[in-house]
Every structure is written in structure tokens, then in C-alpha cells.
Chain A
Amino acid sequence: MTESKQRREFLKFSATGLALAGAAGLTTLNAQQAAAQAASGSLLPTVLERGTLRVGTGSTNAPWHFENDAGELVGMDVTMGRILAKALFDDETKVEFIKQDAAQRIPNVTTGQVDITIQFMTMSSARAQVIAFSRPYYVEGVALLTRPDAQEKTFDQLLAKGSGTRVSILQNVDADTAIHEVLPDAQVLQIDTQANVIQALEAGRADAAAVDLSTVRWLVARTPDRYFDSGKSWRSMLYGAAMRQGDPDWLQFVNTAFTIGIFGHETALYDAAFKEYFGAQVPERKPGFPSV
């Protein structure tokens, strides 16, 4: 054997090993996923045929999507997924939650990794240009969290204290404007992370923490001895689920399921979740005029 031939043989061996190692890692092709992608037309029959719904959501933000003390994924977003599964299969457990990062909410929908993203997604016209939003299932807003043992804990008391009121808020370009819309004289403390915004309140460096309305409700419902809801919320934002564009049947189905689940004859899941995660009763639904 000549030298260069030996060398080629040796390298051929390495190449085979390489191919094998690669193949071992890359063979987890899910047949169902492949079928779902190959099928043309609407997702609705594909999902029905598959027998489970694939929902993309997160696992790190209470009360939207988080793991409870038993390690189960729960939250308002998760409940919306269950409402959808119930509408599809009359069984709220036939749903697979695919954990995803917030940055993956749109790409996972457009590439078909999930059937729908339900992950506290603010409906905006910019996003609506790339994905299709469902009807809103919650109206988020900014609210003021205070301490139950503080001198000034209601919104009127905070307003009356004028420039003596200090409000912590997550750093952003329009943080000052947002606070001064409702508390024109307050001092604004811009802080780097959401957890530290709340920490500032606890440490007494702020009289109120400006956070999402849902966060205020969740913290107050869970630990009423530590947190208090000042009773003010403003700046509405709509939360909707995201789907792929160009599938009117699927979009229409999801909207119908959500509307029935929030306003119709099957509101038990929504009501229970609203009570558990926001500590509040859903307003009474009156038959007659369709206020949906």
C-alpha cells in the first residue's frame, strides 16, 4: 500500500465515524410533525386527525405560564390552550405544551413548530403583519402595586402626596411619560429588572411599583399580607393568541372556541382560571344583548 493510499483509508474511517455520530444525533424526526407540515390546506383537519393540539408557550411567567408547586404547567395562557383542546376534542387534556422562549413566539408559528402560540402576546399592528391574531382573551394594563402597611397605599393617597410619591418602573424609553400620565408630580425610579422593580417597593425605596395589572393581581391574590392593589390601572393592551397567516378556517375555529369559552355556555375553565390567577370574579354575563 502506498503512503497516500493508507492515508486515504485512514481518512475514510474518520469520515464514516463522523457520519454515524451525526446520524445518531439527527434521527429524531417526528412523523406526525412531518405529516402536519406536508398536509396542504387548513390546520383544523390536521389537528383533529392528530388528536392532540400543539400549543407553544413559556414556563417562567406567573400567572400566565408557570410551573406550580407540583411541577405542572399552569396559568392563564395554559388555560386558554385547555379551552381550545376542549373545543377540539371535548377533552381539555389533549394538548401538548411546547415550551418556547418569548423570542420564539412568532418564528415557531410561521415555521409550523406549533399550531398556535398562547404566550401573553400583546396584539400590535406590526406583529399582525406577520401572524394572525385571535380575538383578545385578556386586557392587560399598567397598575400600581403598594404595600398594605404603608401610609399611602391607594391611588388617591399616592396622588395626594404629589412630588413626595416615588414610583419604581422597569427601564424603558417611555417610563416617565407612562407614570406622569396618572401621577403628574411623582418621582420615577427606573430599574433594570421586573423583580428589582418589586424589590424597590419591598425595600421601601419606592411607594409604589408600576407593573402589569396581571402581576399586581397575582401577587395580591397570593400574598395579601405583603402586597396591595392601589386600585388604578391604565394603558390597555390586548393579549391574543398567534397563528399562521392564510388559514381562515383555523383562525375562525380558534376565535369561536375562545368566544364560547369566555362568553358562551362553556366558561367554567376561564372563570376558574380568572379567579385563581387574578383573584377576581368574571363580571356577570347577561343574556340578551351580545356584549362580546
Chain B
Amino acid sequence: MDQIVYAFPFLLQGLWTTILVSAIVVALSLVIGAALGVGLVYGPLPVRLAVRILSDCVRGIPILVLIFMVYYGLPPLGLRLDPFWAAVAALTLFKAAQVVEYVRGAIGSIPRGQMEAGKAIGLIFSDRLRFVIFPQAVRRFLPPWINGVTDAVKGSALVSLLGVVDLMHAINQVIGRTYEPLPLYLLGAALYFAINYSLSSFSRVLERRYAFVRE
């Protein structure tokens, strides 16, 4: 217990980094993934093909390899990212590829007749998405996506591979000084759980909010 009290202040900066990385990754991947996902479903053949190849490649590569590819592979191409942004870019890319699939699945599960009905009442393409497809698709998109968000929080521990001090790395820093791992790992588990449990509670609220059909 003394160890936990002693260690806590050293973990705050790392905890903040973990939250920051997770938030940026989740926000960016949602925007990028949703845009690409719509492209995958409704785009012309070249766009569909490009998104399909990108998504399959990115999802087929371990995040670890992706992180090192971004960090070491981009500087020769003239793009030199500091470790924080390199890690964020790699995690975002990975998460965006997953979001693409959630979006494709969610939109794909909406019956074709909905689109046709939208057309029949004279809605243009973007209005059909906005008023007809998305409100229905979002309900099917939310559960897997929130699951993916908690995954992103846990996956953010990988940024320490580039020397970024996140929660996990901050824990290891204290262990590296005290040589007493167990209390620190318990504290780490509790902190990660606190973040993820609040996220999944929030997700249940969100799901309930979107569970009804608006007339």
C-alpha cells in the first residue's frame, strides 16, 4: 500500500499521456474511418478498391510492426515525426482500418429498400445518408466501436516502444527504481480498469440513447 501511495504521483503524467493518445487516436480514426467506410460502400470502383486494399493491408500487419514502420520508414521519405506523433499516426491508421469495417458492416446491414425509398421521395445522396441511412446504421455501429475504443486505450501502451512515457511506461519507470513490481502492476490494472469501465458505462448510455427509432 505504501508503494502504491508513493508511486501514484509519478504516474499522473503517464496517465495523462495514455488518455491523450487514446483520445486523439479515437477521434481521428473515427473521422478517417467513417469517411473511408462510406467510400468503401458508395464510392466508385477505384475508391472502393483502394480502401479495401488499405484496410486489408493495415489490419493484416501487427500494430507493433506498423509503429516501427511509421517511425523508421517515413524519415527516408522526408517525413520525420517525433515519437509521440509517430505512435499516434500508426495507432490511428490501425484503428481507422477497423472503423472502416464497422461502418461497412453497419451500412451494409441496412436494407436496400431504405436507400431506394429515399430516392423515391427525392432526397439527394448526402441527404439520404444523413436522414435515412446513418441514423439507422449508427445503432449497429456503436457496440463494436465502443469495444474498439477500450481496445485503443489498452493498445496505447504500445507507444512506450518508441520511448513515449505513457501509463505503462511510467509504471515500469517506478519499478526500475524500486525493484518491487507487484503493487505497481496492481495499481496499473486498477487505473486501466477505471478508464475502460467508465467508457463501457458511457457506451451503455449511448446505446440506450440511440436504441429507439425516431419518428
B58 contacts chain A at the CB level, 8 A cutoff: no
Within 8 A of A (CB), among B75-105: 75, 79-83, 85, 88-89, 92
Within 8 A of A (CB), among B159-209: 160-165, 169, 172-177, 179-181
| Assembled-state Cα–Cα distance A18/B92 (Å) | 12
Whether the pair A18, B79 counts as a contact (CB closer than 8 A) is no
Instruction: With both chains docked as a complex, state the minimum distance between the C-beta of B215 and any C-beta of chain A, in angstroms.
Output: 27
Whether the pair B75, A3 counts as a contact (CB closer than 8 A) is no
Whether the pair A30, B162 counts as a contact (CB closer than 8 A) is no
Q: Can you name the residue of chain A whose Cβ is closest to the Cβ of B6?
A: A69
- Of A11, A18, A37, A107, the residue contacting B32 (CB under 8 A) is A18
Which of B36-44, B136-144, B146-154 lies at the interface with chain A?
Answer: B36-44
Whether the pair B82, A30 counts as a contact (CB closer than 8 A) is yes
**Given contacts A3-B125, A18-B35, is CB(A34)–CB(B163) below 8 Å?**
no
B31 contacts chain A at the CB level, 8 A cutoff: yes
A100 contacts chain B at the CB level, 8 A cutoff: yes
Interface residues as binary, A1-42 with B (CB distance below 8 Å gives 1, 0 otherwise): 101101110110011011001100110111001100100000
Whether the pair B10, A195 counts as a contact (CB closer than 8 A) is no
Interface residues as binary, A101-123 with B (CB distance below 8 Å gives 1, 0 otherwise): 10110010001110000000000
Q: Can you name the residue of chain A whose Cβ is closest to the Cβ of B74?
A: A26
| Complex contacts, B39 vs chain A, CB 8 Å | 11, 14
B131 contacts chain A at the CB level, 8 A cutoff: no
Instruction: With both chains docked as a complex, state the minimum distance between the C-beta of A165 and any C-beta of chain B, in angstroms.
Output: 23
Which of A56-64, A127-135, A177-185, A261-269 lies at the interface with chain B?
Answer: A56-64
| Complex contacts, A4 vs chain B, CB 8 Å | 44
Whether the pair B82, A6 counts as a contact (CB closer than 8 A) is no
Whether the pair A193, B32 counts as a contact (CB closer than 8 A) is no
Q: Can you name the residue of chain A whose Cβ is closest to the Cβ of B73?
A: A111
Query: How many A residues, CB 8 Å from partner?
Result: 47
A67 contacts chain B at the CB level, 8 A cutoff: yes
Instruction: With both chains docked as a complex, state the minimum distance between the C-beta of B84 and any C-beta of chain A, in angstroms.
Output: 8
Query: How many B residues, CB 8 Å from partner?
Result: 45
B61 contacts chain A at the CB level, 8 A cutoff: no
Whether the pair B162, A7 counts as a contact (CB closer than 8 A) is no
B20 contacts chain A at the CB level, 8 A cutoff: no
A278 contacts chain B at the CB level, 8 A cutoff: no
Whether the pair A25, B88 counts as a contact (CB closer than 8 A) is yes
Instruction: With both chains docked as a complex, state the minimum distance between the C-beta of A135 and any C-beta of chain B, in angstroms.
Output: 26
Whether the pair B31, A17 counts as a contact (CB closer than 8 A) is yes
Instruction: With both chains docked as a complex, state the minimum distance between the C-beta of A215 and any C-beta of chain B, in angstroms.
Output: 8
B49 contacts chain A at the CB level, 8 A cutoff: no
Interface residues as binary, B17-43 with A (CB distance below 8 Å gives 1, 0 otherwise): 000000010001001100110110011
Interface residues as binary, A218-229 with B (CB distance below 8 Å gives 1, 0 otherwise): 010000000000
A66 contacts chain B at the CB level, 8 A cutoff: yes
Within 8 A of B (CB), among A195-231: 195-196, 198, 219
| Assembled-state Cα–Cα distance A61/B173 (Å) | 7
Whether the pair A18, B36 counts as a contact (CB closer than 8 A) is yes
A124 contacts chain B at the CB level, 8 A cutoff: no
Within 8 A of B (CB), among A81-101: 98-101
Instruction: With both chains docked as a complex, state the minimum distance between the C-beta of B165 and any C-beta of chain A, in angstroms.
Output: 7
Given contacts A11-B43, A58-B163, A111-B75, 10 further A-B contacts (CB under 8 A): A18-B35, A21-B32, A25-B92, A29-B79, A59-B169, A59-B173, A62-B179, A104-B163, A195-B180, A195-B181
Supply 24 A–B pairs (Cβ within 8 Å), ascending by A. Answer: A1-B124, A3-B125, A6-B126, A11-B43, A18-B32, A18-B35, A21-B31, A21-B32, A22-B32, A25-B88, A26-B89, A34-B80, A59-B173, A60-B172, A61-B176, A67-B177, A68-B177, A98-B163, A103-B161, A104-B161, A107-B72, A111-B72, A111-B75, A195-B181
10 interchain residue pairs of minimum CB distance: A99-B163, A60-B176, A14-B35, A100-B163, A60-B172, A6-B125, A195-B181, A66-B176, A101-B161, A66-B177
